[in-house]
Amino acid sequence: MKKFLLILYFLSAFSYGQDFSISGKVVDAQTKEEMPFTEVALQGISNKSVEIGVVSDEKGHFRIKNLQKGKYSITFHFVGYEKFTKEIDIEQHKTDLGVISLKIASEKSERSSRRGQTCSTFLQR
């Protein structure tokens, strides 16, 4: 029984050591102000089944845990700002992306146009 518990302990410690994480902070590119509640989406490149989404905290910090070593695509999105996508290669247990700066979207990309057709037929009763 002691051997079983000892083996179980070492296996859990070994598997715990295999977890990787990424972190960083999202700020406005012009003002350098923190951007709380920014959407952060992670998509596996080498492992397509990995899709994780988190939201940055009140100070713009984010952390994604329990990842495996490999290549990922990470996308940052906040309403009124341009999406920012970056490919990363996670090889260290803790990868810090540093400060991610998002630019305000131009009016042209934010504006949506609607076109419709008018009906020139009238019904009489």
The answer to whether residue 123 is domain-embedded is no
CA distances from 21 to 10, 97, 107 (A): 21, 11, 36
Q: What's the domain count of the chain?
A: 1
41, part of any domain: yes
Per residue in 31-85, pLDDT (tens digit) is 999 999 999 999 998 777 789 999 999 999 999 999 999 999 999 999 999 999 9
Q: Please indicate, yes or no, if residue 91 is contained in any of the structural domains.
A: yes
Is residue 122 included in any domain, yes or no?
no
> What does the alpha-carbon distance between residue 83 and residue 109 come to, in Å, rounded to a whole number?
11
Among 10, 74, 77, residue whose Cα is nearest residue 37: 77
Domain that holds residue 56: 18-107
Q: Which two tokens stand for residue 3?
A: 């051997």
Per the domain annotation, does 67 fall within a domain? yes
Q: Is residue 2 part of a domain?
A: no
Query: Which CATH number does the domain housing residue 54 bear?
Result: 2.60.40.10
Asked whether the whole model's pTM tops 0.95, one would answer no
